[in-house]
Amino acid sequence: MVFEHAGENFNNYLNKNCENFNWLNGIKALHGIIEGLNEIHQKHMVHQIFHIGNILFRINSYGYSMLRISDMELCRKIDDIDETNIYGVMPYVAPEILKGNPYTQAL
């Protein structure tokens, strides 16, 4: 299997480039993240371990930012979720899971 080189995670990128990361870059990045999550949700799936470390980021040779969502192995169909286990990194666990409810899909 061959994968596209996606650069580094978004957290590392921001730490290294915080001086050059302006509002326009932030809005573009947010748009890319929303598009990626929307694609997952359109397939009636949820990403059970979504956090800033799973957002891969790089600038391509044309100067455009490329965002990818990684760790898709814990992406599940909304009706095929293991409700007995909690997945995630504590600061990024979905609020409904912390309340003891099942994963939900964004509306």
Q: What is the domain-level CATH number for residue 30?
A: 1.10.510.10
**Number of structural domains, the chain?**
1
Looking at per-residue pLDDT, the higher value among 64 and 27 belongs to 27
Range of the domain at 90: 8-98
- Give residue 82's pLDDT band: very low, low, confident or very high (50, 70, 90): low
Residues 61, 16: Cα–Cα separation, whole Å: 19
Would you give the distance in Å from CA 15 to the centre of its chain? 17
| 107 part of a folded domain | no
| 3 part of a folded domain | no
Instruction: For the chain, give the mean pLDDT.
Output: 78
Tens of pLDDT, residue by residue over 28-78, are 889 989 999 899 889 988 887 788 888 888 777 766 677 888 887 777 777
| 49 part of a folded domain | yes
Q: Across the beta sheet with 8-9, what order do the strands follow?
A: 8-9, 55-59, 65-69
| 85 part of a folded domain | yes
